[in-house]
Amino acid sequence: MERIERLLGALTVTEKIGQLSMAAAARAVTGPGSQRDLEKDIRSAAVGSVLNAWGSAEVRALQRLAIEHSRPGIPLLFGLDVIHGHRTVFPVPLAEAGLFDPDSWEQTARAAAAEAAADGVSLTFAPMVDVARDPRWGRTVESPGEDPWVASEFAAAKTRGFQGAGLRADSSVAATAKHFCGYGAVTAGREYASVDLSERTLHEVHLPAFAAAVAAGVAAVMPAFIDVGGVPMSANVPLLQGWLRVRQGFHGVVISDYNAIPELCAHGVAADLAEASALALRAGIDIDMGGSAYRTGLSQALDRGLIEHWQLDASVRRVLMLKEMLGLFDRPYRGQEAPVPAAATRALARQVARGAITLLTHRRPVLPLAAHLRRIALIGPLASAAQEMLGPWHADGRAEEAISILAGLQTALPRCRIDSSAGVDLTGQRRGIAAALECARAAELSILCLGEGSAMSGEAGSRAELGLPGEQRALAEAVLDIGRPVIGLLTSGRPLTLPWLFERADAVLATWFLGSEAGDAIADVLTGTFNPTGKLPLSWPRQVGQVPIFFAQRPTGRPARAGERLTSSYLDVPATPQFPFGHGLSYSSFALRDLRCTPRSVKAAAAIEVSVSVHNESATAGEASVFLFVRDPLASIARPLLELKGVRRIALAGGERGSVAWQLPVAALAFPGVDFEPLLEPGVFEICVGQSADADGLLRCSIEVVP
């Protein structure tokens, strides 16, 4: 690009380093370090991008400083964590993953991008596509769950949604696939802890979603804070240069995580900022988020010969190219005056929130709520907590615009008296249990609103226990002891190990953090206005001692068999999850029959036609999800017991029969060989179809791949 070369040629070294520095504005605080004089830095061209600023007035003012009052006059990028919505907050990614619906994932990203772009944002630090199999880790809430195929579909759909028809469009923002890579496998689920994975697991589990994001044209990638096998991702040349830029052909911008470059010193691989900056630049990190490393370290690194000018220019070129692709040189003042969320966006938020609600247990027929109910007790610290419904990373989401569970039920049940009593708070104060019990005793039915506060998951939200925080269990058991019908609603950023609740309550639903429309969506499901369709995007453990737990386990030499001692199991807890991946009940009931796979013998370049019939055996219209797994029972490398290759959803009236089908390319049966390139080995494969990863519920047929 001629314009870029001209701009680059006119920059001093200090101004080049400025283009690689992203400074934090003060509207949100998402990392450590002191706030600098942002306006002074912009005037002196010491920064080329800003994070955590939004609102067209503020953004325009900062942009004007850059264009009219700095020597180079180069427009700024404005970055923000628009993870699951901007002003209208959608369900957290873990909840949204449970729709298993790429169209929906794309639509919410599209709507969030439009709202954020109207507020002057040009770059979002999303989608987060880390595979998460250890729910002790707080960022499980931000992830698309445990499966690499789902994470890949999610990465591509979100990239399409955020970036829309092109980055120049007023309603588009540049997307950032993060956190590259393996962050979900932190040691013991502890935040920022070291990750130690085999290269095989990296290639089979943690890299596919980033390959999918790059293939979808993602504009940026963000390395994770963590080290992988002792090599911090912010300095990881083999993965950032070798795998991402060379093998995947990624030409976009790599943005460090917040302060991650100076933290290379804390990792113990750099003696000072000059070394840290040189390691990061050589690894291909173009933008230093936090802006404190490159600003001082890169000029020293040049003086000490740790980096070359061409390496500096290569990064500046990529940053200028991104600004060019966003059209910032021609139209730097993106955004509108005081954008207002569209009604259609709120309607989308309600629709997606409904779809994310997962009916975990329904032991006695208490749902949908009977129309004759006249008095309900809403008990628990999440009953009227509108702010908590927004979850972590809610950008410009506002509590006053969020609908609490209480408000949603009051709207849906105008003729029913609904008393609400928190009973306990989230931190363990239990002053109000007596009042809550009074409330429950006076009601025909109690709804327990239990779970986590939004600050108990997300970044730096790891928990070593997965029960209910504080004294919520004491409250819940006291209500259960009354002996009237009890429904449990779990607001959380992760699965919670509550066998005592699942055994006693009449029904329990996972409501995660559903965003602005939480209360209305929950009411839609409880009243039967919406028949629940949510399915678990991760295995739900019985006890924290089981984690990491996931369905794609390798068989081992002694596969787990219930009741048999010398097999891969525990003495004290079944090896199976409380609820399997894909679990989610409905007010309908569905049966799968007649699995067909043709042809039975296929060559590598062909596809397998898989079909199965689905019968709604109930009188209630509903929607079923059908999962397609494959199993390679004999290969040169032990293959997982199940690998997910597709999901289909089908809506059926009461009593109706339908069918779902896939054209499964034989190439999808390949796995990373010893060189981690796709390897397809001839032989017999099992095609498995079911309503979850529960092995007992799968229909199976075999096909043979012939040379």
- Residues contacting 105, CB < 8 A, separation 6+: 96, 99, 153, 154, 157, 158, 161
Return the number of the residue (346 or 494) whose C-beta is nearest ligand GLC.
494
* Closest distance of CB 225 from ligand GLC, Å: 6
191 Rama sector, left if φ>0, alpha if ψ -120 to 50, beta otherwise: beta
Q: Does 194 bind ligand GLC (CB under 6 A)?
A: no
Number of neighbours of residue 203 by Cβ within 10 angstroms: 19
Angle at the Cα of 583 from the Cα atoms of 580 and 586, rounded to 5 degrees: 160
- Residues contacting 581, CB < 8 A, separation 6+: 145, 146, 147, 536, 537, 538, 539, 550, 551, 692, 693
Q: Which of 16, 133, 136, 178 binds ligand GLC (CB under 6 A)?
A: 178
* Closest distance of CB 125 from ligand GLC, Å: 3
Q: Does 78 bind ligand GLC (CB under 6 A)?
A: no
User: For residues 707 and 698, what is the distance between their CA atoms, to the nearest angstrom?
Assistant: 28
Could you give the strand order of the β-sheet that contains 417-421, starting from the edge strand earlier in sequence? 358-362, 507-510, 486-491, 445-451, 375-379, 417-421
Within positions 443 to 502, which residues make up the interface with ligand GLC, using CB under 6 A? Answer: 459
Within positions 628 to 687, which residues make up the interface with ligand GLC, using CB under 6 A? Answer: none
Write the interaction track for ligand GLC spanning residues 240-279; mark x where CB under 6 A is met and - where it is not. -----------------xx---------------------
Q: Which of 90, 100, 105, 125 binds ligand GLC (CB under 6 A)?
A: 125
Return the number of the residue (178 or 542) whose C-beta is nearest ligand GLC.
178
DSSP label of 202: I
Reference 122, options 54, 57, 35; nearest CA is 54
Q: Which of 41, 58, 81, 520 binds ligand GLC (CB under 6 A)?
A: 81
Return the number of the residue (31 or 55) whose C-beta is nearest ligand GLC.
31
Task: Please give the structure tokens belonging to residue 314.
Answer: 């290569």
Return the number of the residue (125 or 243) whose C-beta is nearest ligand GLC.
125
User: For residues 528 and 593, what is the distance between their CA atoms, to the nearest angstrom?
Assistant: 27
Return the number of the residue (129 or 385) whose C-beta is nearest ligand GLC.
129
* Closest distance of CB 316 from ligand GLC, Å: 22
User: For residues 549 and 580, what is the distance between their CA atoms, to the nearest angstrom?
Assistant: 10
Q: Does 288 bind ligand GLC (CB under 6 A)?
A: no
Number of neighbours of residue 45 by Cβ within 10 angstroms: 23
* Closest distance of CB 459 from ligand GLC, Å: 5
User: For residues 531 and 587, what is the distance between their CA atoms, to the nearest angstrom?
Assistant: 6
DSSP label of 379: E
Active site residue 675: no
Q: Which of 31, 528, 574, 697 binds ligand GLC (CB under 6 A)?
A: 31
- Total binding residues for ligand GLC by CB under 6 A? 9
Return the number of the residue (180 or 243) whose C-beta is nearest ligand GLC.
180
The count of C-alpha atoms lying within 13 angstroms of the C-alpha of 502, restricted to the half-sphere facing its C-beta, is 17
Return the number of the residue (293 or 359) whose C-beta is nearest ligand GLC.
293
* Closest distance of CB 333 from ligand GLC, Å: 24
* Closest distance of CB 30 from ligand GLC, Å: 3
* Closest distance of CB 25 from ligand GLC, Å: 11
* Closest distance of CB 156 from ligand GLC, Å: 19
* Closest distance of CB 220 from ligand GLC, Å: 11
What is the pairing mode between strands 358-362 and 507-510? Answer: antiparallel
* Closest distance of CB 458 from ligand GLC, Å: 9
> Radius of gyration (Cα) for the chain, nearest Å?
26
CA pseudo-torsion sign 274, 276, 282, 286? negative
From the candidates 119, 130, 227, 257, which is the catalytic residue? 257
Task: Output the CA–CA distances (angstroms, integers) from residue 107 to 84, 88, 103, 144, 196, in the order listed.
Answer: 11, 13, 6, 16, 36
> Do the beta carbons of residue 153 and residue 102 sit within 8 Å?
yes
Q: Which of 30, 201, 553, 659 binds ligand GLC (CB under 6 A)?
A: 30
Omega of the bond prior to 574 within 30 degrees of 0, cis?
Answer: no
> Do the beta carbons of residue 534 and residue 524 sit within 8 Å?
no
* Closest distance of CB 78 from ligand GLC, Å: 13
User: For residues 670 and 396, what is the distance between their CA atoms, to the nearest angstrom?
Assistant: 43
C-alpha dihedral over 659, 665, 666, 667, to 10 degrees?
Answer: -150
Write the interaction track for ligand GLC spanning residues 332-371; mark x where CB under 6 A is met and - where it is not. ----------------------------------------
State the amino acid at position 506 in one-letter form.
D
Backbone angles phi, psi at 472, to 5 degrees: -65, -35
Per DSSP (E only), the strands in 325-392 are 358-362, 375-379
Return the number of the residue (51 or 177) whose C-beta is nearest ligand GLC.
51
Return the number of the residue (256 or 539) whose C-beta is nearest ligand GLC.
256
Return the number of the residue (115 or 643) whose C-beta is nearest ligand GLC.
115
Angle at the Cα of 457 from the Cα atoms of 213 and 548, rounded to 5 degrees: 70
Return the number of the residue (178 or 639) whose C-beta is nearest ligand GLC.
178
Q: Catalytic amino acids? A: 257
- Residues lying near ligand GLC in the complex (CB under 6 A) are found at 30-31, 51, 81, 125, 178, 257-258, 459
